[in-house]
Structure 1
Amino acid sequence: MEKIIDEDKQGQALVLDSRETNKRKLFIESYGCQMNFSDSEIVASILAENGFNTTQNLEDADLVLVNTCSIREKAELTVRKRLEKYNAVKKINPKMKVGVLGCMAERLKSKFLEEEKIVDLVVGPDAYKDLPNLLEEVDAGRNAVNVVLSKEETYGDIAPVRLQSNGVSAFVSITRGCDNMCTFCVVPFTRGRERSRDPQSILQEVSDLVSKNYKEITLLGQNVDSYLWYGGGLKKDFEKASDLQKATATDFAKLLDMVAQQFPRLRIRFSTSNPQDMTLDVINIMAKHPNICNHIHLPIQSGSDRILKKMNRLHTREEYMKLIDDIKQILPDCSITQDMIIGFPTETEQDHQDTLSLLEHVKYEHGYMYAYSERPGTMAERKFEDDVPEAVKKRRLAEVIALQRTHCAYRHESYLGKTFEVLIEKESKKSDQHWSGRISQNIVAIFPKEHYKIGDFVLVHISECTSATLLGKAVAYSDNN
């Protein structure tokens, strides 16, 4: 759950420049979080070296891949429907092969391959380098599967193609896997134990993006705050590291400092944070560098200590609120966003009221709020009864969403009459006469195009707002161009 799922991106077919020497066609769709979209870029890069160009036309594809998500039931159901669609097309185009990548792969491999026979290929998140070998098996008429989770694989040596890119902003993965065994979350079982990339490979990837004129990056991980490089290996094995390894280790604060210092004109974001691993060192580094954006996505999941303990969140309500207060003291202009699960097993009305009161204390800029649904393979599914009635979940979720909307409006109104730097990312969805971009606090601003273009940093004076968007007028280029 510690991952932002952008509903606008779900199921987009990814396309990159063709190579004349590549004769086969790849159709690849992604569902779920930013990590899945980042992984699809790695897959496309590997397959581009093995004879595949991407296509947006499903009917023309030799290979169809869907990168899957197990975080929410809705994503899983959507993927199943897409597999049905692929197989309908396969009847017209028998040479087409269909594969499932990512988080659903391990759990549903036998169901997809043997029982339902709806795919030819199943590949887990750590096995993408094995794709050329697996495709040889498929071409020979055999089903192929590799869902082994690795303790080393970080794909630090793969230069991802930027499939979804606007040429302005890009994701840079810094960790894979997760060690936080939250009882509601399937990620540790689908993506394995936590390991970090060599910081030099991260800096090289960022340098490559800067040379291609990218203006903003997001350092990405299931839990970026727990990034730890000590020469390779799992984070959980750090205690066995040598004294020299421990003395020269790079944590997230140091990595953030290195990236910000080396690329002072590059805008830097990161996602997602976990309250138990977020340190004030990171906040102080953010305050030190003007090119690090003033936004932290800090999931809380519940405002109740009892529910937090049941979720195996290794922090209390009081510790979380103290962290929020410290952030606001060091970075008064920092925006904070949340994830919230409503109706977790045994949640009482008092627990719900504790969540509402925490929302009132923080007044988040934005939030991702969901009613609890069991995810197969999680501790909660194995040990807890999903005992909160659906009607109660819906009512509580509606109350949380209504309060969050009030706080969105409250926060956005505080931006009225002020001027902010905006990086132009794309045309506005609602008007081809307006640009859309984000301020440092990760809030979208819409303004007339005039003579400005995508990739420009401009100063925008905010005159109106909605609960989701700031509206204004560009007054000048910023000094960052």
Structure 2
Amino acid sequence: MNEQQRKDMSQIRQVNPEEATSDKNNLNRLKEKSSEDFMKYFETTYQPPNMRDAQRRKKKETDVHYDFTIPEDMDQSGKGKKYMIRTYGCQMNEHDTEVMAGIFEEMGYESTSDTKEADIILLNTCAIRENAENKVFGEIGHLKPLKMENPNLIIGVCGCMSQEESVVNRILKKHPFIDLIFGTHNIHRLPQLVKEAMFGKEMVIDVWSKEGDIIENLPRSRKGKIKAWVNIMYGCDKFCTYCIVPYTRGKERSRLPADIIQEVRHLAAQGYKEVTLLGQNVNAYGKDLDLEYGLGDLMDELRSIDIPRVRFTTSHPRDFDDRLIEVLSKGGNMLDHIHLPVQSGNTDVLKIMGRKYSREEYLELVKRIRKSMPDATLTTDIIVGFPNETEEQFQDTLSLVEEVGFEAAYTFIYSPRENTPAAKMKDNVSMEEKKDRLQRLNKLVNEQSAEAMKQYEGEIVHVLVEGESKNNEEVLAGYTKRNKLVNFRAPRSSIGQIVPVKITKAKTWSLDGEMVEASVEVK
């Protein structure tokens, strides 16, 4: 590649995290260059997230910033324009979408759900399973005709998929109409990235291997005024052999307790009825801080805030300590629904998964939880068909599900993720057998869920009313303290309130009921 070609190619590049430049060349000239020249340039210039470096990362203090502002030249740059964000994956992605929406609205943009109205479309992606990735690439294909009709439309891919080298390569090779790719560590740079894509009319790649610092005053556009996500930490240091999250989300970084408490107090003052504390490994909170302070201590302080319900997700059994159990057992706004992913019921499989606890240790933890909270509702995540899982090992999973008495479970067939240790393991379990195991597991979980739900018939529960039922606009729906979905008829004025409902019919995954006039003892 000669010097002129290299100069022309330089308009598609990874933006320097410290200093983004704005002097761009014309995208049309790049399109005239051969894909072979471009890929040669890309392979020698673009620096993707480094998986090995991620695993070798060292503990270091995370800087906290309170000085986020929209750059003056982008303030109100979205006036008269509309944005759309499609979100895939977990609650953390939902939280990130709220932040990006807040930034857009600070810039003057309005939200739209119509792709034809949008001036900018972001796909906030999930990398945890292959199916989620396929959905995103399917959506990218559907958006291409829109880009052809409206060349000024900005289309961006962000989130966890963007942190994967293979994904960025695939977009560059097969979807060059994408304008913007950025990762999970630099959402606060959204105004600058939009500027790069808007005024340069070029593809911008801004993916950091280095985790970002904690930015405390980012704007948020929350969904509704009833329930809110509160992120308390970022990243994960567990490195389970099947999981891409420690690479895409980076090392564990905890927010300071005072900042979290202030945010929850603010939500309570606004009238929110429920907050969910978020983290990829939420009960590892505080371990990276120079404090003797963990999730149990934080939850104990949140007990005194006038907000009816406080939840947290997702927890890891290794970090679920007795201090947290002690605080949860105090009740009040601390709920006794605990989501505790087990992944497998066999110790050997757990070891290969890198979970760092045994079947016996998990059951001992459940025993301690049950002792302090006899009525606690436990739910879980389970993977079937992990490389070389035997039928005997799968039977251990079924027996653990029965012994614990899970009332619900998210169940999955193992999906290999590129660059994780498990993806290199030999797998002699056929897809037919994996599907059969998933079916048998789901049958057991469904039976246990139906049995648990049956116990609610005739009882009165308190329901936080969220809105209309998905299946019937004349029926309202909401959740109990133990996260059971209830459908019932009531005045629309009940939305946003916690009301007593008598359960008239139990189904496998939901309850039907009727609103009662006065509060009585509830389950």
Q: TM-score, normalised by structure 1?
A: 0.88
Give distance in 1, aligned partners of 2:78 and 2:352: 55
Structure 1 range deviating more: 111-120 or 423-432: 111-120
| 1:125 and 2:166 are equivalent in the alignment | no
Q: Please, which runs of 5 or more residues in structure 2 have no aligned partner? A: 1-75
Aligned residues: 443
2:90 corresponds in structure 1 to: 33
Give distance in 2, aligned partners of 1:104 and 1:202: 28
Give distance in 2, aligned partners of 1:351 and 1:404: 17
Larger Rg: 1 or 2? 2
Q: How does 1:77-156 map to 2 (within 5 A)?
A: 77-107=134-164, 108-113=167-172, 116-138=175-197, 139-156=199-216
Which of 212, 230, 234 is matched with 1:172 structurally?
230
8 Å CA contact retained: 1:122, 1:144 = yes
Q: How does 1:158-197 map to 2 (within 5 A)?
A: 158-162=218-222, 165-197=223-255
Give distance in 2, aligned partners of 1:153 and 1:479: 48
Give distance in 1, aligned partners of 2:334 and 2:224: 20
Q: How far does residue 390 in structure 1 lie from its aligned partner after superposition?
A: 0.3
1:218 corresponds in structure 2 to: 276
8 Å CA contact retained: 1:22, 1:52 = yes
Give distance in 2, aligned partners of 1:386 and 1:37: 34
Q: How far does residue 51 in structure 1 lie from its aligned partner after superposition?
A: 3.4
1:252 corresponds in structure 2 to: 295
CA 1:335–1:220 in structure 2 vs 1: closer, same or farther (change >3 Å)? same
8 Å CA contact retained: 1:70, 1:76 = yes
Percent of pairs identical after alignment? 37
Q: How far does residue 437 in structure 1 lie from its aligned partner after superposition?
A: 1.0
8 Å CA contact retained: 2:268, 2:306 = no
2:354 corresponds in structure 1 to: 312
Cα shift readout 1:377-426 (whole Å, capped 9, x = no counterpart): 21111x30233100000001100000000100111122223222111111
8 Å CA contact retained: 2:268, 2:307 = no
Cα shift readout 1:75-111 (whole Å, capped 9, x = no counterpart): 1111001111111111111100111010000212233
Which of 436, 448, 454 is matched with 2:489 structurally?
448
1:6 corresponds in structure 2 to: none
Q: Please, which runs of 5 or more residues in structure 1 have no aligned partner? A: 1-18, 230-234, 239-244
Give distance in 2, aligned partners of 1:305 and 1:252: 27
Give distance in 1, aligned partners of 2:77 and 2:203: 29
Q: How does 1:298-447 map to 2 (within 5 A)?
A: 298-381=340-423, 383-447=424-488
Structure 1 range deviating more: 113-122 or 339-348: 113-122
8 Å CA contact retained: 1:301, 1:308 = yes
Q: How far does residue 479 in structure 1 lie from its aligned partner after superposition?
A: 9.2
CA 1:322–1:40 in structure 2 vs 1: closer, same or farther (change >3 Å)? same
Q: How far does residue 166 in structure 1 lie from its aligned partner after superposition?
A: 3.2
CA 1:479–1:290 in structure 2 vs 1: closer, same or farther (change >3 Å)? farther
| 1:58 and 2:101 are equivalent in the alignment | no
1:13 corresponds in structure 2 to: none
Q: How far does residue 266 in structure 1 lie from its aligned partner after superposition?
A: 2.6
8 Å CA contact retained: 2:78, 2:107 = no
Aligned-CA RMSD value: 1.9
Q: How far does residue 477 in structure 1 lie from its aligned partner after superposition?
A: 5.1
Give distance in 2, aligned partners of 1:479 and 1:123: 51
8 Å CA contact retained: 1:337, 1:364 = yes
Cα shift readout 1:198-223 (whole Å, capped 9, x = no counterpart): 22221222222222211111111111
Cα shift readout 1:140-192 (whole Å, capped 9, x = no counterpart): 12321111144452343213211xx2321111111111101001100011111
Give distance in 1, aligned partners of 2:387 and 2:450: 31
CA 1:223–1:476 in structure 2 vs 1: closer, same or farther (change >3 Å)? farther
CA 1:187–1:452 in structure 2 vs 1: closer, same or farther (change >3 Å)? same
Give distance in 2, aligned partners of 1:125 and 1:479: 46
